Structure 1
Amino acid sequence: MDEITVYSKPSCVQCTATYRALDKAGITYTIVDVTQDPAALEYISEDLGYRQAPVVVVTDQDHWSGFRPDHINRIATNTNKAAG
């Protein structure tokens, strides 16, 4: 699986919920703070069209905004199938 990136901002409740769900599912990820990285903010807002954090990017075609346990479960299931 590609490296998952979570574009986030400080004090974001949905971001924290996303980290916890990813951790619980055993999914590794990288956090990018969009308040500290203007290029990352431009990428998620201009290129991907999102206005809400977190933005989770799995691949160029697989990404979403907000806390989405359904997507996290899908990724975890696909990861487990690939590992097994």
Structure 2
Amino acid sequence: MNVTLYSQKNCMPCTGTKRALKRNSIEFTEVDVASAPDAADPILELGYRSTPVVIVEFDEGGQDHWDGYRPDKIEALAYLVAEGRGA
């Protein structure tokens, strides 16, 4: 499973999402949407206009994504990781 967090500085929901992912031992790659002109392109293509956005690509195929601070989604990912299905 590959998890990517699209975030930006001074974004409280981004900070909360990052902390929750770390607290639940979910490995992720963080992309600062202000870091490069095209850094936000993947989330813009999905229709998102604000951060945070989390994109999860599952090993067996498929994808999930959401915006905002979503502890319910993060807990579901933590469950998959604990069950060995997220590796």
TM normalised by structure 2 equals 0.85
- Corresponding residue number in structure 1 for 2:75: 73
Structure 1 residue 36 displacement after superposition: 1.2
Hey, what's the Cα distance between the residues in 2 that align with 1:40 and 1:80? 31
User: What's the % identity of the aligned pairs?
Assistant: 44
- The structural deviation recorded for 1:38 is 2.3
Q: Which runs of 5+ in 1 are unaligned?
A: none
Higher helix share: 1
Structure 2: give runs of 5+ residues left out of the alignment.
Answer: none
Tell me the number of residue pairs that the alignment of Structure 1 and Structure 2 aligns: 81
**Cα distance between partner residues in 2 of 1:38 and 1:28:** 25
Partner SS for 1:40: coil
Give CA deviations for 1:45-82 in whole Å, capped at 9, x if unaligned: 1x111012010011262010010000000000011112
Which residue among 38, 48, 51 is the counterpart of 2:49?
A: 51
After the TM superposition, which residues 1-84 of structure 1 pair with which residues of structure 2 at under 5 Å, given as runs?
Answer: 2-45=1-44, 47-59=45-57, 61-82=63-84
TM-score (normalised: structure 1): 0.88
Counterpart amino acid of residue 84 in structure 2: A
Distance 2:66 2:37 in 1: 19
